[in-house]
């Protein structure tokens, strides 16, 4: 089965959920017109990756950081309250599978915790998986809570079996293996990372897992940051490339067949043959004939869990 995929690295409208949703639908219509059956958006596309956290001084810019975080929280996606309805409706209308990253607000437990989330929406408009990043990286922990194992799933879609890990989760061997054990066709890695080292890792994953690997970050310059962003000019020089994007398509067992799309605010297209994934695992199937379950034991807790709560035991109680 041949599938035409589209990987967008166009920037959203940072901290503006409504405008970013509208932009996502515009992109979906654009790739559909080009014949794409699957579209992949970057990490935290709705309403943008919190790149400011890598620029604020730890402990020194607390007031500014809190101000920006409030805007992010007020523009986060509430899936439980229909925050993705416009995307799901467009997916069904266009018969398009959508993988999209977002800042998700937890309305089921605390009402304020944010998660770095990626969802898979099938061509019928139904959300078939929600994965919350299980380990935010470094200062990301000031923005996002910890996800759980409930989204470490490979799901059937109209374009094959899809699994996702977000950014540096892809450096977690057991997280990768949890997807490899589920007969994966297309491994999708929305990210904020880029460059030769990242692409080399994606090549390794394609070889290790015997699957197609699709990855992208947001191609973003300082000039793409809205004027309304607090202290924009101090944080983001207009001409600076904050992220080059580097969308890429890698074939099973390794080898780039499209991209990287470097410093282009555009869309990368490629045709992929789903059968190539299983064909490539003839020599190396790390979850099958190249596995040693008599030596290694592996299990995943896929229960949905509430956000981690930290207990103050400074009074000496157990």
Pairing of strands 186-190, 212-216: parallel
Cβ(114)–Cβ(143) below 8 Å: yes
Distance CA 270, CA 268 (A): 7
Where b means 16+ CB within 10 Å and e means fewer, 53-72 reads beebeeeebeebbeebbebb
Q: Which two tokens stand for residue 280?
A: 């490539």
**Can 140 be counted among the known catalytic residues?**
no
Catalytic-role residue among 26, 43, 227, 231: 43
Distance CA 256, CA 259 (A): 7
CA 205 to chain centre: 16
Cβ(131)–Cβ(104) below 8 Å: no
Pairing of strands 160-164, 38-40: unpaired
Closest of 34, 13, 35 to residue 24, by C-alpha: 13
Distance CA 39, CA 206 (A): 19
> 273 Cβ partners below 8 Å, 6+ apart?
1, 2
Sign of CA dihedral 198, 131, 303, 183: negative
Closest of 271, 272, 278, 230 to residue 253, by C-alpha: 278
Distance CA 65, CA 117 (A): 21
Using DSSP's 3-state secondary structure scheme, residue 174 falls into helix
Q: Which residues are catalytic?
A: 43
């Amino acid at each position: 089965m041949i599938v035409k995929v589209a990987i967008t690295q166009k920037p959203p409208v940072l901290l503006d959920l409504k405008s970013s949703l509208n932009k996502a639908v515009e992109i979906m219509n654009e790739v559909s017109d080009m014949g794409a059956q699957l579209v992949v958006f970057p990490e935290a596309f709705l309403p943008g990756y919190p790149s400011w956290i890598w620029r604020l001084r730890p402990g020194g810019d607390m007031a500014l950081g809190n101000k920006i975080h409030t805007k992010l929280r007020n523009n986060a996606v509430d899936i439980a309250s229909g925050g993705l309805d416009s995307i799901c409706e467009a997916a069904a209308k266009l018969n398009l599978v959508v993988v999209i990253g977002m800042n998700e607000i937890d309305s089921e437990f605390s009402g304020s915790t944010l998660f770095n989330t990626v969802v898979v929406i099938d061509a019928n408009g139904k959300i078939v998986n929600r994965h919350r990043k299980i380990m935010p990286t470094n200062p990301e922990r000031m923005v996002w809570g910890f996800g759980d194992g409930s989204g470490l799933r490979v799901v059937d879609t109209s374009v094959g079996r899809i699994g996702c890990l977000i950014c540096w989760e892809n450096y977690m061997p057991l997280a990768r293996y949890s997807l490899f054990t589920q007969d994966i066709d297309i491994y999708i890695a929305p990210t904020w990372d880029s460059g030769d080292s990242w692409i080399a890792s994606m090549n390794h994953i394609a070889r290790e897992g015997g699957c197609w690997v699709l990855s992208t970050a947001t191609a973003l310059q300082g000039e793409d940051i809205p004027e309304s962003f607090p202290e924009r000019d101090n944080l983001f020089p207009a001409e600076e490339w904050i992220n080059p994007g580097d969308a890429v398509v890698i074939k099973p067992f390794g080898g780039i067949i499209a991209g990287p799309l470097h410093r282009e605010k555009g869309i990368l297209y490629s045709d992929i043959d789903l059968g190539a994934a299983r064909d490539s695992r003839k020599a190396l199937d790390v979850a099958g004939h190249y596995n040693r379950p008599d030596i290694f034991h592996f299990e995943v807790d896929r229960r949905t869990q509430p956000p981690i709560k930290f207990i103050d035991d400074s009074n000496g109680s157990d």
